[in-house]
Chain A
């Protein structure tokens, strides 16, 4: 099975900051890497799919990049609505697997 490792596990930042989250896969999953946003009590929401494609309706301040086993989610200017937990997920093959999550907190 493919293991996904995210870093950092927690990130403290201020509104307007540029933030990046890294995700590493135990083997090549390119380009089948997605990013999700999850807020407490709500359903997770897909932000980015196929490494860098923006899901419809997602603000352009979110972007994804990477290849092979290393991927990055970047938020260019953090907004109040962005404080949440973010997960990467590989969908190269079953079984699907998620990273451990990165909680983005207010500094």
Chain B
């Protein structure tokens, strides 16, 4: 059974940093792309970042480009999202998502990030 367990969320001040982690199990991690998708309170889903299976290519939404960085450690079956220069509008539940190519096939339960002073 695929399991994606996000951690690292919490309350952070504007301008601060946070690193999210997603521990994966139940599948061969190093052959799948991984993504982060978020949902702000009362809003819809927004794709944030993606990383290819090898980690050789990364992609970010324009809204986070230059501030967020996705990475992975295939030896630890873990994907990360480093979030810098956080803004109030980054407040959201962040989901770790396994990709089949660019299709988002398995989702974690999410971790809440709140950016507030």
Chain A residues engaging chain B, CB cutoff 8 angstroms: 1, 32, 34, 36, 38, 42-46, 49, 85, 87, 89, 91-101
Chain A contact residues, majority secondary structure: loop
| Given known contacts A91-B103, A94-B50, A98-B47, A43 and B110 CB-to-CB distance under 8 angstroms | yes
C-alpha spacing A45/B44, complex, angstroms: 14
When distances are taken between beta carbons in the complex, the residues of chain A under 8 Å from B103 are: 34, 46, 49, 91
B50-A87 in contact (CB<8A): no
B interface size (C-beta, 8 A): 21
B104 interfacial by beta-carbon distance below 8 Å:
yes
When distances are taken between beta carbons in the complex, the residues of chain B under 8 Å from A100 are: 44
C-alpha spacing A32/B47, complex, angstroms: 16
Q: Which of A36, A94, A95, A96 has the most CB of B within 10 A?
A: A96
The smallest C-beta distance from A80 to any residue of chain B, in angstroms, reads 23
Q: Which residue of A lies closest to B61 (CB)?
A: A95
Q: Which of A46, A92, A93 has the most CB of B within 10 A?
A: A46
C-alpha spacing A91/B37, complex, angstroms: 13
C-alpha spacing A99/B103, complex, angstroms: 15
When distances are taken between beta carbons in the complex, the residues of chain A under 8 Å from B95 are: 43-44
C-alpha spacing A97/B47, complex, angstroms: 6
B27 interfacial by beta-carbon distance below 8 Å:
no
Q: Which of B37, B45, B59, B110 has the most CB of A within 10 A?
A: B45
C-alpha spacing A99/B107, complex, angstroms: 18
Q: List 23 A-B contacts (CB under 8 A).
A: A36-B104, A38-B45, A43-B95, A43-B108, A43-B109, A43-B110, A44-B37, A44-B104, A44-B107, A46-B104, A89-B104, A91-B102, A91-B104, A94-B50, A94-B102, A95-B47, A95-B59, A95-B60, A96-B35, A96-B102, A98-B45, A99-B44, A101-B45
Closest 4 CB pairs of A and B: A91-B102, A43-B107, A96-B47, A94-B59
B1 interfacial by beta-carbon distance below 8 Å:
no
